[in-house]
Amino acid sequence: MKRKVIFYALEVIIILIVVIYLAITKFIPEQEALKGSSEKLWRNSNYETAIEINIPTGPKFLLIINKNKILKNIFIENEEAVFLANKNIEEQKINKAIKDIMDLLLNNNKLNVSSIEVINYNDNTIYEECLNIINKKLQENNKVIEIKQLKKTLKDKIKEETFDITTEEELLWQLYLQSRDYISEYAKEEVTTQSKIEKSSAEVYADEIYQKLITYMINANVKNQTKDDSRMPIQYIPGDSANTIFPTTDSWYYIENSKVYAQINIESYKFCYNGSIENKSEGICS
């Protein structure tokens, strides 16, 4: 009897190891690969320095650069800058990335202005490299534009923003979420026709989102998490492979004793998950 218990315990442990391994090596990388270049999940380890470009009455965006001088993220800060999203500029060396950004700004007539702000948030060497490329591109295109060079810190930016935050890590996360919002709204506007989702399809999408929450819980080793925790916002988890179906904003989830409880709403359809995908019901959680 004792040997049988030990055998079953080992079997459970092996299954958990396999699930975690697949989540890390297969599921999460596949999901990241499906996202646009500007929608990859934000990681604080990506940040070494930042450069912000602000064009009056035009685009405003923040470039996140790592210690290897690679552009990791473009944080869209207003609607005018959304055209820069998902152009595969990220993951390039900063000198190539800046050239591509300048080409996009020029081709979209965003540099018909008298001045622009280029703000340095940390590394002077990288900032000077970027300035040189910007100046060269402007000269090549006969653009006479004053570049206002500014030096700030992330703490300065915290004071400028309306986020209810105190730390630099929280600021970068909120800027990432804000950027995703701009990109998402733009994508919705681009879709001129969209067929209504059938109930059976909505349930499949909801189940897929729930499974991704399970994977997140296992991979991040989260045993308990409240509804208002912002580490993995449910509204940014797609239910389809094309990344076009997302839960409505009134969806929520929390984790308690390594179980996920969730209200996942797809359009007008609502599904309640009471700790497992098997324990699911249609309608609002009571």
User: Residue 230 has what pLDDT?
Assistant: 79
Q: How many distinct helices (H) and strands (E) make up the chain?
A: 7, 9
Cβ(79)–Cβ(182) below 8 Å: yes
Closest CA to 25 of 36, 13, 33: 33
By DSSP bridging, strand 115-120 and strand 146-151 are: parallel
User: In this structure, how many other beta carbons lie within 10 angstroms of the beta carbon of residue 127?
Assistant: 20
pLDDT of residue 91: 92
pLDDT number for residue 31: 45
Residue-level pLDDT at 86: 84
Q: How many other CB atoms are there within 10 angstroms of residue 129's CB atom?
A: 17
- Average pLDDT across the chain, whole number: 85
pLDDT the model gives residue 57? 87
* Residue (of 77, 64, 136) closest to 102 by Cα position: 136
pLDDT of 30: 44
CB atoms within 10 A of CB 196: 8
Which pLDDT score, from 0 to 100, does residue 176 have?
A: 93
How high is the pLDDT of residue 67? Answer: 92
Q: With a cut of 70, which residues of the chain have pLDDT below it? A: 1-40, 187-195
